[in-house]
Amino acid sequence: MVLKLLVLCVDGLDPDLAKKYGFPSMPYERKLTIPENLCQNGKPRTLKVWPAIFTEGYVPDDDVLDAFFRKPFPSNVLFQLNRYVRKLFVTMGAKKIIGFFKKDYKRVSKKTFNWEARGSTWKIVPFNARIRTIADDYDSVMWNVPTLCPEFVFQMPFEDGANFRLREYVNWKILTEGMSLYPLDLGIAYCHIIDYFGHIRRPLKELYLDVHQHAQRLSKRCDIMIVSDHGILPETAEHTKHAYLGCTREVKAESVVDVKKDIRRIMEEKK
């Protein structure tokens, strides 16, 4: 038995640039709109769009979003140290990483986060009210999704951002390889690589191709969905107001807030 559906969350992947770069198409693709209430100053805001994708439109309050910017000392230091400890487990292999998440995460993080003891990684939160998502309805693993997962770091206080995002991308690829083989219903994992390098105006074509080749390889084991929160133009470092959705099964979403419905339908079809 392998994973039923793996959702690859790729920040900044633009549907128009995908065509321009010759991004090989998924069997089913959609260009998604982004509602105004998920934008700030007319541009999509990452910390609002991702929770809306997996909750069908929930928009977090500002105090929830501020948790990613103003963590009190020493909690922020403990949070960062816990992150780097977890990175060491990459050398143990992806399956052991998942086992670590599911069994020992509470012990490692109990002094840093509020905990709702229901056995899932993303239920450890750096703020008081955890957001319920579609992942709660299935035997699932969710990793690094902005606003929903405590391991997500919006800013990198201790090191160079480019190196941090490159290592994060490698970790994402290793972890999703393991997820694709794991006997779960739903896996969700996020990477920030395209958005980050778009903001510092670096070429993105090779990253687009690498992401798609990774997805193609995983699709031989389980159904794959690729979703983004918006696009980004490396020439201007500006967010675009549409997002990408591609899947190995039929998808019907028109907006980012419709993605949850497609995920649920696919999961029901695979029962």
Query: What is the tens place of the pLDDT at every residue in 7-42?
Result: 999 999 999 999 888 776 789 999 999 999 999 889
Domain boundaries, the chain: 5-269
pLDDT class of 84 with cuts at 50, 70, 90: very low
pLDDT class of 66 with cuts at 50, 70, 90: low
pLDDT class of 131 with cuts at 50, 70, 90: confident
pTM for the model stands at: 0.78
How many other C-beta atoms lie within 10 A of the C-beta of residue 225? 23
Give the closest residue to 122 by CA, choosing from 210, 189, 68, 60: 189
Domain covering 5-269 in this structure, CATH number: 3.40.720
Residue 119 pLDDT:
35
Residue 129 pLDDT:
47
pLDDT at 93 over 60: no
Q: Over the chain, what is the mean pLDDT?
A: 78
Please state the three-class secondary structure of 125-187 as a single string. Answer: ECCCCCCCCHHHHCCEEEECCCCCCCCCCCCCCCCCHHHHHHHHHHHHHHHHHHHHHCCCCEE
Question: pLDDT > 90: what percent of the chain?
Answer: 44
pLDDT at 158 over 60: no
Query: What is the tens place of the pLDDT at every residue in 45-60?
Result: 998 999 999 987 777 7
